[in-house]
Amino acid sequence: MGFYDITSDISHVVRESSVEIGIVHIFLKHTSASLTINENADALVVKDFRNFLTELADGKDYYEHTYEGSDDMPSHIKSSLLGVSLQVPITDGRLNLGTWQGIYLCEHRFESSVREVVVTMMG
């Protein structure tokens, strides 16, 4: 479980493309992880975010979908709340994010697995 800043990875893909002005669409092909844009200047933001989502969704005794463990259903709920896709403008061949914004892959399972992210650009 964790929040992983993938901003530099996405920035690299955008810089390597020929798109100067447009949109990058980032899509995560999973139902127990998510994507979000949030502050990347202070690690406490990620810690507070993780604590809030844990309190919100974990440890509910009414979950019936537990085929892959106790973190199965909470992971699906967190994924639905945050979402699995993002769009970011591209300006002058670069991500046009705010000063303190970073793109995070949010892993909601206790045991993380390989995650596949699809990046598509339109210009």
Domains (range + CATH), the chain: 2-122 (2.60.120.460)
Each residue of 41-61: pLDDT tens digit? 999 999 999 999 999 999 999
Each residue of 51-93: pLDDT tens digit? 999 999 999 999 999 999 999 999 999 999 999 999 999 999 9
pTM of structure: 0.95
Residue 33: count other Cβ atoms within 10 Å of its Cβ. Answer: 23
